[in-house]
Structure 1
């Protein structure tokens, strides 16, 4: 099990028994690593904002805040597979990783028989071909959440690369490409950077000044830009 999978599994293990604790030794035996490795993993999860706290005493250990646990989720096997199929359309978008993580959490919270039926149904669904846009560099995909100035290499149509510092403001997606909308310090204005032309990315420690992304900044001549809504 790689570290990313282990971190996810640690949260799920603590969520399943919350508010009871699990000791570092118990978790180390469960995941076949050292107790020191578990302590480092717990520290990394705490730094990322997961509400895990240590309960002292002989019967103590690590606990997950009850507010972080999920209520029972009654997804049907068909609904779970439909969500997995919808993820295919998120390939190459800034939120593919987060969507996959959300689906894993939902499936983990399903009743065991429903989860098994969903796995069986998913194994019978096949997708021919791949028409999604190219993947976005991880640092670019997390640019808005990170809230930091990026130092990028950017290639033009002829392949000439320039080095720029940019302040991320948003994303625009097309069927074939995604764009990072950012204030370009080199040009002194808002620019759209096609993500597959970003050749290198460095996340700096600098927090950019607040800039508003106005609708007129997205006045793209070849299509209508619609804002994403969580209301469906």
Structure 2
């Protein structure tokens, strides 16, 4: 029979993992008698855990919510996941960054050394808001490998799978087409700088040794090779801030800190509605059901298409390029609705 303290921790872990437990099932898992289970449940109650007894032929136990927060118990994977989530809380826009930092420090202090090492290796920067679409999941083992290489400053060699259709995302980090076939892989060498999240996806910011330039790689497309390469002296990231660098790359920045195409419109929607779906724009209330929006994008047609998603009447304040983009999209959409070819008489839209 395990010692009482160890048995209590095991019992607590079981109660946290499943809502209802028959008493006999707990006794079998703990290799003790049902009477011992009852005594252990009483001990947990004395420690502040609200364990409720359930009635029925077999009887059982359930860990309910209480009036105070008792000590919690996490397995290794849960503890690492919690630490990563606390690091990425800035992407929620909830205004709890300081509290999250304190919670992360508290969790880290009570972690065993092996878990502290894993958490310290997996330093993450959250850029932008969380995504809303079904994005591919990054393998936790790959994340740990990349995080360790970032911390150790070791050159990475990896297979990078790229989309095989035009417009799908590649190493530059530009968003790609959903559902693209990914059957083209190539070997890459890079100096890893940082792990970031953007729009619900994981990315590795690194200096590409073969392209001699900075790149952002999607983690779900990386297959690391072992062993890692030699240690390197970190280069200075353009602008110095990883969050600003990644945001500029995804927004198509021309290097001046902004996006190359910025327009101003008036929308027949409340400012509160537009703000909820605007990541980086400036929203000004003009009335209960009207607002001004200044927004940027990587191209004029892209900006016009993004504004059209609000499903409201739009008045273009400027510039002329944005009006031309709306006119071009109108012809294309009209042609698509009639299965006819889009007109080609529109002037080219420069970036």
Fold shared by both chains (TM-score > 0.5): no
Using the size of structure 1 for normalisation, the TM-score is 0.41
Return the structure number with greater relative CO, CA threshold 8 A, min gap 6: 1
Using the size of structure 2 for normalisation, the TM-score is 0.29
